[in-house]
Amino acid sequence: MSVQLSAPNENSESVQPPDPLPPPPDGGYGWVCVAACFCVNCFTWGAVSQTYGIYLAHYLSSGRFPEATPIDYALVGGLNFSTAMLVAPGVTIFARHYSVQAPMLLGTILIAIGFISASFAHRIWQLYLTQGVLIGAGVGCAYIPSTAIISQWFEKKRSLANGISSAGSGIGGIVYSFLTEAVIGRVSLAWALRITAVVSCSVLLVATLLIRTRNGDIRPSQRGFDFRLLRRRPDVWLLLAWGFLSMFGYITLLFSLPDYARSIGLSSAQAAAVSAVLNLGTAIGRPLIGLSSDHFGRIEVAGLLTCASGLACLAIWMPATSYGVLLFFAVIIGAILGVFWVVSQSSYPRTIGPICVEVAGLAELQSLLSLSWFATVLPTTFSEVIALKLRRPRSGREYLHPQIFCVVSYFAAGLCLLALWWRIRLRSRVS
């Protein structure tokens, strides 16, 4: 790490560099923070977005909101993600002025209000505001402050710790996939939303109280946006392009797979099982991605797995017409489709965190994360809208065009990250 010297003055003969940052402890209370962040992932992304495909399939088949179109339901799910990402800069500033616990407590309250309000929705605009915007804002407030915490506590085990944490979204997705489908089928959609509110917010409250930062030692900038990062070098642009493009494939897969299962003649219970198996793959795969990233390189692993996601869609999903093959695809793709979240932060398995540290440094982590989240707003909002517009019902291959869209998105994103790896490799050779 290079250290900038302060400018000399006329009264000093030598200049002393500032004290180096203390190294992360790689353990200790950091493992409590890993457990807390695991719960945050489990009861935000796992409860909200990892299982929205179950709600989407139910909305598309039930006609609960007569004035709604499939595009409306796709936008509601997209707003879960995009609103969470859109509030990231403001949440970062909020956490800087107060503490990480303040926005996380606010997020817990918003998630509770959003789910309970959605259970009483009778018009599609009410669903937009509740299950879309309100829950999305709550997820952003609860999740965003936690993204940089694990990287403050770990260095050598950073990707592994982030991988374990991000596996929480997969575990939450497994539980809520079965729970949501069972409650909808046996009780009602309204009670599925209310139960999710009570369980999720109870656990999030405990996790929020357990989280601790090392901001006093790290002295992070915690800027909502630092546009100077965009002028630093093309590496930042390649990183943002990877996140932007990969989200098109990620959201399309996450939301479309349960309804795809129904389109090939599977039952609602089988569609829920496909969603649960995808989340099982996520829970297993994300810690392994983190461990592999620590050993073989974060950018290398992320680039290869992004391309592998496109290849799996092309070779397995597109020809899949049976329950067994679809389950096989779900567990494989679940393990690798969200590599952005593992390597960045690591969650969103989180790739984006550790890679952001490599590109911008630990002190600038939160600022680059905010830019990364913002870059995903458009694709997370409109990915499923595009996918549903590309569907061709009653054609015999209803999801063929969305599948192609998914493949192209992942391959293009993978090329961006491999280009970033090549630039860093060339720079290390020169130095």
The span from the CA of 116 to the CA of 121, in Å, is 9
Decide if 256 contacts 404 (C-beta within 8 A).
no
In a 10 Å sphere around its CB, with 0-12 CB exposed, 13-18 middle and 19+ buried, how is residue 102 labelled?
A: middle
Q: What is the pLDDT of residue 204?
A: 95
Question: DSSP character for 8?
Answer: P
Q: Could you tell me the maximum CA-CA distance found in the chain, to the nearest angstrom?
A: 82
Answer yes or no: are the C-beta atoms of 165 and 150 closer than 8 Å.
yes
- pLDDT of amino acid 371: 76
Topology given in CATH for the domain delimited by 30-424: Growth Hormone; Chain: A; (1.20.1250)
Alpha carbon distance 392, 384 (integer Å): 14
Q: Give the tokens for residue 183.
A: 């409650």
pLDDT at residue 222, rounded to an integer: 52
DSSP assignment of 208-227 equals HHH----HHHH-----S--G
- d(CA 50, CA 251) in angstroms, rounded, equals 10
Euclidean distance between CA atoms 426 and 420, whole angstroms: 10
| Number of other residues whose CB lies within 10 A of the CB of residue 97 | 8
Q: Alpha-carbon distance 410 to 332, whole Å?
A: 15
Mean of per-residue pLDDT scores for the chain: 82
CA dihedral 104, 370, 43, 285 (to 10 degrees): -150
**pTM of the full predicted structure?**
0.77
Q: Rounded to a whole number, what is the distance in angstroms from the first to the last CA of the chain?
A: 13
CA-CA distance, 215 to 323, in Å (whole number)? 49
Among residues 332, 382, 376, 383, the alpha carbon closest in space to that of 350 is found at: 376
- Residue 346 has a pLDDT of 40
* Segments making up each domain of the chain, as ranges: 30-424
SS3 6: coil
Distance CA 56, CA 259 (A): 8
The helix or strand, by DSSP H or E, that contains position 400, with its residue range, turns out to be: helix 400-430
Contact 147, 44 (CB under 8 A): no
pLDDT of residue 325: 95
User: In angstroms, rounded to a whole number, what is the distance separating the alpha carbons of residues 224 and 94?
Assistant: 9
Structure confidence at residue 130 (pLDDT): 96
Q: If you write DSSP's letter for every residue of 43-95 in order, what string do you get?
A: HTTTTTTTTHHHHHHHHHHH-SSTT--HHHHHHHHHHHHHHHHHTHHHHHHHH
pLDDT string in tens for the chain (431-residue length): 343 333 444 444 443 444 556 677 777 888 999 999 999 999 998 888 778 888 988 888 887 888 999 899 999 988 988 898 888 888 888 887 888 899 999 999 999 999 999 999 999 999 999 999 999 999 999 998 887 788 788 877 776 787 788 888 889 888 888 889 899 989 899 999 999 999 999 999 999 999 988 766 655 555 555 666 666 567 778 888 998 999 999 999 988 998 899 899 999 889 989 988 998 888 888 778 777 776 777 788 888 999 999 999 999 999 999 999 999 999 999 888 877 766 554 433 334 445 555 555 545 555 666 677 788 889 989 998 999 999 988 888 899 999 999 999 999 999 998 888 888 777 667 66
d(CA 372, CA 38): 21
pLDDT in tens, 222-279: 555 566 666 656 777 888 899 899 999 999 998 899 889 989 999 988 998 998 899 8
Task: Return phi, psi of residue 351, to 5°.
Answer: -80, -30
Which of 165-176 are b and which e, b meaning 16 or more Cβ less than 10 Å from the residue's Cβ?
bbbbbbbbbbbb
What pLDDT does 361 receive? 53
Cα–Cα dist 108/361, whole Å = 30
The answer to whether 153 and 169 have CB atoms below 8 angstroms apart is no
Contact yes or no for 355/299 (Cβ under 8 A): yes
pLDDT of residue 8: 40
The pLDDT of residue 17 is: 44
